[in-house]
Structure 1
Amino acid sequence: MDLATIYNQAHADSLFLKDYKAWIGLHRKTPNKWEWIDGGDYTFQWPSNEGNNNNENCAVIGYNYYNDKRIYSRECDTKSFSACRIINSSSVTIVQEMMTWSEAKDHCMKINQELATFTKEEMTFFSEQNFPIWIGLHRNDSSWKWSSGLQEDKYWKLELSDNKDCVTITSKTKTLAAENCQTLRPFLCMKENVILVKENKSWEEAFEHCRGLGSNSNLRFNLLSVKPGDEHKYVVNRIKEADTNEVWTGLRFLGDEWLWINGKDVLYSDLLKCPPQGRRCGAISKSNSSTVAARDCQERKNFLCYSY
Structure 2
Amino acid sequence: MLVYLSAPSLQFLLCYQVSGPPLGVSYVTTASKTWKEAQKYCRKNHTDLATVSNQEDMKRLQHHVPAGAWIGLQRDWRWSRPGVEFNDSKWSPGQPDNYNSNKEDCVWMTKDGWHDDSCASVYKFICYDERKTSGNTFYVSTDEMTWREAQNYCRTNHTDLISGVQQLEDFKTNPLYMSLYTQEPDEKLWIGLFRDPDWSWSDGSNFSFTNWDEQNPDPDRDPKKSCAMTTSGGAWSSDDCNETKTFFCYDDSLFLIKENRTWEDALYYCRDLYGDLVSIANLDQQLWVQERAKMATTYYVWLGLRYTCTLDVWFWVSDETSNYTNWDPSKTTGDDCNMSAAMDRRGGAQVGQKDQRRKPVQFHLFQELTTTM
TM-score (ref. length: structure 1): 0.52
Aligned length: 188
RMSD: 3.0
Task: Verify the 8 A CA contact 1:7 1:237 in the aligned structure 2.
Answer: no
Q: Does 1:304 align with 2:366?
A: yes
SS in 1 for 2:288: helix
Q: 2:69 aligns with which of 113, 133, 138?
A: 133
Structure with more strand by fraction: 1
Paired residue secondary structure (1:136): strand
List per-residue Cα deviations over 1:107-148 (Å, max 9, x = no partner): xxxxxxxxxxxxxxxxxxxxxxxx221112223541443333
Specify whether residues 14 and 287 from structure 1 end up closer, same or farther in structure 2 by C-alpha distance, changes over 3 A only.
farther
1:292 aligns to 2:350 (yes or no): yes
Cα deviation, 1:52-102, whole Å, max 9, x if unaligned, reads xxxxxxxxxxxxxxxxxxxxxxxxxxxxxxxxxxxxxxxxxxxxxxxxxxx
Structure 1 gaps, min length 5: 21-130, 215-220
Q: Distance in 1 between matches of 2:352 and 2:255?
A: 22
Determine whether 1:12 maps to 2:58.
yes
Cα distance 1:183–1:16, how it changes in 2: closer, same or farther (>3 A)? same
Residues 285/189 of structure 1: CA separation in 2 closer, same or farther (3 Å cut): same
**CA–CA distance in structure 2, aligned partners of residues 205 and 281 of structure 1:** 13
Unaligned runs of 5+ in 2: 1-45, 79-195, 213-218
Kept in 2: contact 1:4–1:188 (CA 8 A): yes
Distance 1:234 1:197 in 2: 17
SS of the equivalent of 2:289 reads helix
Q: 1:146 aligns with which of 190, 193, 201?
A: 201
- Residue 230 of structure 2: which of 161, 165, 169 is its match? 169
Calculate percent identity across the aligned residue pairs: 27
- Which residue, 210, 216, 219 being the options, matches 2:270? 210
Q: Is the 8 A contact 2:251 2:369 kept in 1?
A: no
Contact 1:3-1:135 within 8 A present in 2 as well: yes
Aligned twin of 1:257: 313
Q: Residues 175 and 243 from structure 1, CA distance in 2 versus in 1: closer, same or farther, beyond 3 angstroms?
A: farther
Cα separation, 1, equivalents of 2:237 and 2:355: 44
Matches within 5 A, 1:1-308: 1=46, 2-18=48-64, 131-139=67-75, 141=78, 142=196, 143-148=198-203, 150-156=204-210, 160=220, 162-170=223-231, 172-214=232-274, 221-254=275-308, 255=310, 256-268=312-324, 274-277=334-337, 280-289=339-348, 292-298=350-356, 300=361, 301-306=363-368
Q: Which moved more, 1:2-11 or 1:192-201?
A: 192-201
Q: What is the CA distance between 1:157 and its match in structure 2?
A: 8.4
1:14 counterpart SS class: helix
CA distance in structure 1 between the aligned counterparts of 2:333 and 2:63, rounded to whole angstroms: 43
Gap change, CA 1:163 and 1:292, over 3 Å in 2? same
Matching residue's letter, 1:305: Q
For 1:191 and 1:151, locate their aligned partners in 2 and report how far apart those are by CA, in whole Å: 14
CA contact (8 A) 1:196 1:239 kept: no
Specify whether residues 19 and 227 from structure 1 end up closer, same or farther in structure 2 by C-alpha distance, changes over 3 A only. Answer: closer
Give the partner amino acid of 1:197: I
* 1:260 CA drift (Å): 0.8
